[in-house]
Structure formats: C-alpha cells, structure tokens
A and B are shown apart, each in its own frame.
Chain A
C-alpha cells in the first residue's frame, strides 16, 4: 500500500498525541490519583500505537505498546503512580518523540530503546499477569471493567464503559421496556469508505432506536480514526436478530455482534465506578437527570476531546495554500499602491472614490488574511513544561512553571523562529535564575522556585515575558565580568544605567555562571537570542531586582509580511524606513549640525542625536555636489538610543509587503529586505538596528 501520502498526516497527528501524552503526564504528576488523566494518556498512546503499526513503524508501535501496558495497569489500579514510574513513562515519551522526529526527517524511526523497554517491563511484571493480558487486547478501545468481568461471563461483558449519565439513560429506558444493546460492528479489511459505512450503520441504528454511546466517538468514526471495528450502545424496541440482519445489509460490514445489556451490568459497573477517587453518585440515586450531571458528562475525559472540536468549527488548510493566499494578497497590496498613485495623478473624483472604497475593503481583507496565518503560541510553549521538569531534576532544583496566555496568536513565520530563543531564555532562568532549594531556604524563600511564561497582545505587538523569582542579576558581578572581557570600558561602565548593565549579559562572549553547565551553554546563547529577536523585528529587555528575580521581556511585531514604512528619497533611489523604529521626522538647517568627535550631531529636544548620512552609507552616486541649506532627517530609535537618518526628501507613509532579497544576496549591510512599489520598482528596506551599534 502506498502510505507516503499519509506520512505527513501521520507525523502531525503523532506529534499531537505525544504532546497530549506529555501534557497529561505532567497533569498526572500533580494529581496522581486522577484516573481520568491516565485514561486520556492511554487513549493517546493507543491511537499512536494503531497509527504507527499501520504505517509500518514497528519500533514505534512496540514501545508505545509497552508503555500502554504500564498505563493500563495504572488505570486498573494494579500499580500506583509514583515519581519513578512517571520518569520511565516520560523517558518513553521522549524516545517516541525522537522516533517521530526521525521519521519526519526521512528516517525509519528505529532507535535503541531496550533499556526503557526493560524498565517498562519491570514495572509491569511486578503485577499479576491478568493486567498485561487485558491490556494486550488491542481491539477494545477500553478493556472490560474489572468487577463487571468477574460477575458476568466474559463473552457478554460490556466492552464499553459508561459514565453515570449514560448509565442512567440506559437504566431508565430498560425500566420503560426498551431493549439496550451493545453492538460491535466489524468492517471488512479492505473497506475503503469507512466513514460512509459508519454513516450507513448509524442511519439504520437511529431509525430503529437511539444511540447512547459509541466507541470510538462519532467524531473519530467520521474521521475514520479507527481500525476495523467500532462499538455502539443502542436503546431500541427492535429485536436483536432484526437489528443484526439490518446492519449486515450494509455492504462491507463483516461481522455484527449484539450483546443485550442487562440492568445488572449498569448497577454493577456503577458500583465499581464509585470506588474511583472521583466521587460520583451511583446510578440508582441519580434517577433525575440533573443539570450538574450533564456538566459532569461534558467534563468527563472521554468526552473532552470531541467537545473541544465542536466548540469551534474548523477545517485544516495546508500551510502551502495559506502561503499562496498570502502571496496573492501581497500582489494585490502592490497593485493597490499603484492604483492609489495613479488616482492621485489623474485626480478624478469617481476614480478616487472607488480606489478609496477598495482600499478600505483591502484593509479588512488584510486583517483577515493575516489573522488566518496566526497560530497560538501554545505550539511553542507546550514543549516547555516537560523541558523545565527535566532540567529541574537534572539540577536538583524545585521549579514550578506557570504558562499564561498560551492562546496568544502570532504569525506563523514568527512562531517558527521564536522557539529556540525561548528555550535559551528558559534554560537561563532555570539554570542561573532559580537558586538551589538550600540557598532559597537560607534566603527565606519557598523551596520551590517559580518561572512564569507569559504572552499577551498590546497594540501591534506581542509581548512574551519570562519571569523568575530567583537570584536576579548581580550587577556588580556583571560589570566586573564585562570589563574583564573587554565588553565595556571602565569609564563607560560608570555611566551605564541599571537596565543597560542588565542587558550586558546579552552581549556576545558573556557568561556569568561561575561554572559552565551544559544546560545554558557557554555564554554564546543569550547574544544569539538577541540577534534572532532583532532579526524578527523585535526587541528584548531585562528587568531585574537582585535577590528577588528577573523578567526577560520580548517584544515582537504581530506580523512580518506586511509592515508600515516611511518612503524616503535619496537622489533617484527610494528607500523604506520601518515606521516601528521612527520617532518623528524633522527638517534641520545646516547651522543646526554640530560636530562632536568627527561625528555630526544635532540637538534634538535637548538630546544629542548623532546623524547618519544615508547617501554615504549606501554609496548613492551623486550627480552633482549640491549642498542644500536644509536637510530632511528621520529620527529613529533602537532601544534607548536615537539617531537621525539624513535623506534628500520624504515621500510618505505606505503599507508595504516585505520581501527577501533572495538567497544570493544575503546579509547586505543595513538592508533588511526589499519591497515592490506601486510603480513596479523595487525599493530597499533600511535596517535601522544595523545602523546603530
């Protein structure tokens, strides 16, 4: 079978399942008694196992299977969750992640995991064989409940598990003379349109009664996320044989097993259920279907996933298509620029009106196109809880990571780039920021350190903050080190503000930790962080109070592809200066220009601002040595620093589409990219950050 076309989907879904595994494992670590979480992990693992076996990745399926056995034992309360077990399960998830990454990179997903497998086996073998044999039952999504299996014969034991709400319905309907059945339908192996067959079966069932529950859930069935068989609980007045023959009429249905559900079963399993830590009233008492019951059903882990799906209707669109849409829209933006300039030239009122209307619609369209490309920063954040957990174990620290605002959305291009810098910063906070428990106790702080990861929107920017309540930055130590490494001179050091001193740790060749650990690297990390963030058009700042912690704050633009710029002219050439770095524009006289150490400066609102002559920087060919009495200056800002860019004239403000100069021309000094103007010509975008060192 040709599986390549499914490979991408497989990788995506595997990643999702692994993510949900590790999320839930972390949750489980906090609430070791909550078996619904174990169920959730089990389901993810089970689906992953099925998928990888179908795709032929035996190692992946095998390891997942071993992990599943352990999970199953936990679920059936054969093993109690403890840190040791969780470590091994985490280790397995790590291995699984590696395997999936390997497959994504074109590998075969093979990996030596014998050690982990051995550990898993050991955990499992401490228990009776029954646990593992039950879990090896691959077909059943959920193994028979223990107590039900002992009271009833295996053959007629319900394979589905019911929550209280469902039990109540089943109980009530049997009391009213309906029959309750559990129907297991097996489709033939070669069935191509599984979803269609499921639909036909459900159609028949719904004509003959009411479907109470299905396993897998209806959503999963419609998405064909099941192997060959599925189970349905039905209330009906039709007889067992009639139902069977009706279902068998659907083509490609291979086998139908109908088990009548007796009243005992609900009662029995309800009793067994009530043993679980989540206290739920027994089915008999809950005869009236109260609203809280319904809520409980929604909260039930079994229903959680589909409920989420139903909340917002979404479709999956490939990123490629979105990119194409974006490109087409960019073309439109360029054409709009051209139309606007033509309209100004022609100055025809109807044309002006139309162009204006179109511009407004385009503005709305732009918002929509841009938001479509936005994805929640969750995709980056969700790998951190596990990372922090591993790090704190390695470092013997106690750290609690709090994530706030994971739903904050950012352009995909930014999301792709921001992961690594954040890893660096979090590692830095965990390694250098948070002190060891002993030190913390000695300083009168709680043993457990807090790291908060926060994301939020503000204006046209997204802010990401990493806050820790650790030691903070020791400014004296930083200064001493910076001076000894030659990053600042002794004289300059005296004039630095606290904030500037903090930011010295972002300079290249800086590492304040006395010993170099492999966690936060060799001081090459933080300056890479700074450059990456700046290349994304963002900035980073540090606030720190010694003894009580630091906040690393990253400011990022919402989108990278369409930005507002000020177009300026130098001789015949047009350059674009990003509006985000412009403070204001002004016209200065020759006599305003002062000289300071071979540097021309102006006095701008009481501040000395150095002038940068763009024609010199960009080596613009001058036709004649014309000397103007007046100069047009764009005042730009980088952090706290200001500079004045001297140009010939201002053209105006415009929305432009950011384009790269291509692979051949990478790293051109002080040029961050290009754009296409309304007249079809290319204009270069000035990188103000590079101009100010």
Chain B
C-alpha cells in the first residue's frame, strides 16, 4: 500500500438562493419536509418557531433570514435540516437539500476576503469540488444570537 490515505470530510450539501452550502454529516440528525411551525413570540426574526419532531419540540431557524438573503416562497423542495451542536437541537429551513458528499480535507480553503457578503461571518471555509463551490458553515456562529 503506497497510496497516501486522504482524509475526507462527509458533508450534507444544501442550497440557499444560488449558492451551495455544506455542514458536516456528524452534526446532522436528519432532513425533514416542511411541517407546521408554531410561532414563538419575542424571538429574533429568523427564529420561525418550533416544530414537533417526533415528540421533541425543536426550534426552527430560517437560514435565508439569518443570512439576510431575501425570503422566497416555500417550494416543494424546501427542507428542514435538523442539526445538533453542543446538546442543542435546531432545525434550519433551506431551499433544498441536495447531496451527501465526501470532500478531501485538503481542498478546504480559508474563505476569500470578500467585502459586502452578509454571511461571511458564518463561513468557516470554502471547498471546490469539480465545478461546485461549497461554502462550509460555522455552526457555532450561526446559532450564536450575538453574531
């Protein structure tokens, strides 16, 4: 065996507007179709409310609102990605969940310095796979209400 083993990161790829984003599979608990969301008063605008996820009350964030992308109508492809982080269980509303792929760890680069992009605070890196540009999210920051 002379082949150098390459490390891969398994990610879930989803779409928001025209961009593709990725979150590590290890943080993803499941992908759900859109269901009834109960509004919770006095929360930030991007908190859409809570859903009944098989008996567990789970908060739902609208990622478009979170990243200040103009909100679109909910489509047939709209999904809720349930993620877990530090014992928190939260759902993200995304335009569509596309793929599960392995990306070589080497191919992840620091985010390019772009001015004017709203979601730059939430990006932990970018990866170029074939012709796709995947934006890796910094989940800590997405969930932190301070940023």
Contact = CB atoms under 8 A, between A and B. Distances in A.
Interface of A: 327, 330-331, 334, 573, 617-620, 659-665, 668-671, 674, 676, 680-684
Interface in B36-59: 36, 38-43, 47, 49-52, 55-59
Given A659-B57, A660-B57, A684 B89 contact: no
Given A663-B87, A664-B90, A681-B36, A671 B57 contact: no
Interface string B70-90: 000000000000000011111
Interface of B: 36, 38-43, 47, 49-52, 55-59, 86-90, 143
The 6 A-B pairs with the shortest beta carbon distances in the complex, nearest first, are A618-B41, A682-B38, A663-B88, A674-B57, A664-B59, A659-B57
Contacts of B59: 661-662, 664-665
B38 A681 contact: yes
Contacts of B36: 680-682
A674 B50 contact: yes
Contact of B52 (A619, A665, A681): A681
Contacts of A668: 40-43
Given A617-B41, A681-B38, A664 B52 contact: no
Contact of B40 (A617, A660, A676, A684): A684
B46 to A, nearest CB: 12
Interface centre among B36, B51, B52, B87 (most CB of A within 10 A): B52
B79 to A, nearest CB: 19
B41 A331 contact: no
Contacts of B143: 664
Contacts of A680: 36, 52
Given A330-B55, A682-B57, A662 B89 contact: yes
B28 to A, nearest CB: 16
B90 A334 contact: no
Nearest to A330: B55
Given A665-B50, A676-B52, A683 B38 contact: yes
9 contacts: A331-B55, A660-B57, A663-B89, A665-B40, A668-B41, A669-B41, A682-B52, A682-B57, A684-B41
A503 B94 CA distance: 51
Contact of B55 (A327, A573, A619, A683): A327
Contact of B38 (A331, A334, A664, A674): A674
B59 to A, nearest CB: 5
Interface centre among B43, B55, B56, B90 (most CB of A within 10 A): B55
A682 B54 CA distance: 11
Contacts of B51: 682
B57 A676 contact: yes
A669 B42 CA distance: 7
A529 to B, nearest CB: 27
Given A661-B57, A664-B89, 7 more contacts: A617-B41, A660-B57, A662-B50, A663-B89, A665-B59, A671-B41, A674-B57
Contacts of B56: 659, 662
Nearest to B54: A331
Contacts of A331: 55
A682 B55 contact: no
Contacts of A334: 55
Contacts of B87: 663
A331 B56 CA distance: 10
Nearest to A659: B57
A674 B51 CA distance: 10
B68 to A, nearest CB: 20
A684 B38 contact: yes
Contacts of A619: 41-42
Given A664-B88, A680-B52, A573 B38 contact: yes
Nearest to A683: B38
A662 B52 contact: no
B50 A661 contact: yes
Contacts of B89: 662-664
A668 B40 CA distance: 8
A617 B40 CA distance: 12
A618 B42 CA distance: 7
A148 B78 CA distance: 87
Interface centre among A327, A663, A682 (most CB of B within 10 A): A682
A330 B57 CA distance: 13
